[in-house]
Amino acid sequence: MARRPRIPTPNPADSPVMVAAGSVWALLAGMGLLLMGNALQYSLLGVRASNEGFSSTATGVVMSAYFVGFLFGSIGTVRAVRRVGHLRVFAAAAALASIAILIQSQFVTPTVWAVTRIGTGIAYAAAYIVTESWLNDRVTNEHRGGLLGVYMIVSFIGMGGGQLLLNAGDPDSSTLFILVSVLISSAAIPILLSVLPQPAMEQPARLGPLEMFRQSPLGTTGCMTSGMLQGALFGMGAVYARAAGLSVAETSVFMFTTILGAALVQYPVGKLSDRIDRRRVITAVALFGAVAYAAAVPAGHLGGMWVIGSAIVFGIPPLTLYSLSIAYANDHIEQSQRVAASSVLNLVFAFGALLGPSIAGGVMDLLGPDGFPWLLAAGTLGLGLFAIVRMRMRPPLPLEEQSAYAPMPQRTAWLTDAWEESVAAADARQGESATGDRRARTTPDSSP
């Protein structure tokens, strides 16, 4: 009796997405290390500032300085890349970020930290632009969504791991500052040794913030609000945890848990927003955040596991609302405006993130630790109410016209000019290739 032919078992490693991820492993590894270093840096500076007796306002200004640099970096990096290329810009960014954190370890004053945090923001903006634009240039439209999922996994692992590394040394010594420098420098190694061709840079279309707001008031407002929430959470979360009585080890778990909660809900919330009016999902997430943050106020007085337990909801609104707002804004713009719109939304988000830590620090100086969850509650409540108003003023968009939801990692950056420019360039190249293929198939063979 003849044997049945054996059906080969599919190997996940042979899937197009995994093949694409393997081809850009250096970029993914570099980004993971960058995010790990940035996450550790946020918590480390917050804990050290608390131990040194910085006021909440001073700490908030220090954390906001990062986003001042990020704004400058987002604007200037694209020009620098056009002049000297991706590799040189990334090498300079890694060097600047490493120098900045080492200076902070030796000069522990709010003034020095604020100045060096501006440098850190410039460096990270440049690093994100280079790695993300390069990554996006290496994939086709067909597999971009799958590779973005792999990128999200790497991002959350890096962010969560960075928070836990706070336990690797004494925040009052220079050990953890050196570790941040090592992580940033290590991120440069695989990227600088990569043999991948550098992506082409093209000039994007222009779109102003006011025009962007007119086209999508809720999307624009949501981006700025989520920026403020993320800036406050990641800039002052460790300060709040310490003020609530948590140890350094517990603070690292608190910050890790904020990221874990957001990671768990990104996919189901995103899929839901693709199936119903996206504004309803934005409203639900915002109002959920308002209630959750208000409920966290009494938990903050109980200390210990109560504070850590409440952290599971702290990261959900800031990280989820940005992705939802980006998707909603893209629902209401033309395809030709996508590049310029992404640039505007990135800057709007960064402006909100710039305000977040400073506002949180001032509120905490006035109200104590309770001011932190109350501020987050006020921000999410305001966005939720605005979303309700917008639903009454504008009819829902047909579901088939909605753009696909794509989760965005915290950095708190985001799709930048260079990322979107490379998308446009890749799409244009694919369109030209497809047109050429069609012409080849429809043109008669003139050979004898």
Q: Is the pLDDT of residue 384 over 90?
A: yes
Q: How many CB atoms lie within 10 A of CB 371?
A: 22
Please state, for a pLDDT cut of 70, what percent of the chain lies above it.
74
Alpha-carbon distance of 333 to 341, in angstroms, equals 8
Q: Are 240 and 293 in contact (CB under 8 A)?
A: no
Local structure of residue 332 (DSSP, 8 states):
T
The runs of H, that is alpha helices, within 85-140 are 86-106, 110-137
Q: What is the pLDDT of residue 371?
A: 92
**For the ranges 205-219, 317-331, 341-355, 421-435, which has the lowest average pLDDT?**
421-435
Alpha-carbon distance of 384 to 387, in angstroms, equals 5
pTM for the structure as a whole: 0.68
Question: pLDDT digit string (tens) for 4-32?
Answer: 555 444 454 556 656 666 767 777 888 88
Alpha-carbon distance of 235 to 240, in angstroms, equals 10
C-alpha closest to that of 314 among 327, 295, 331: 295
Mean pLDDT score across all residues of the chain: 78
Please state, for a pLDDT cut of 90, what percent of the chain lies above it.
22
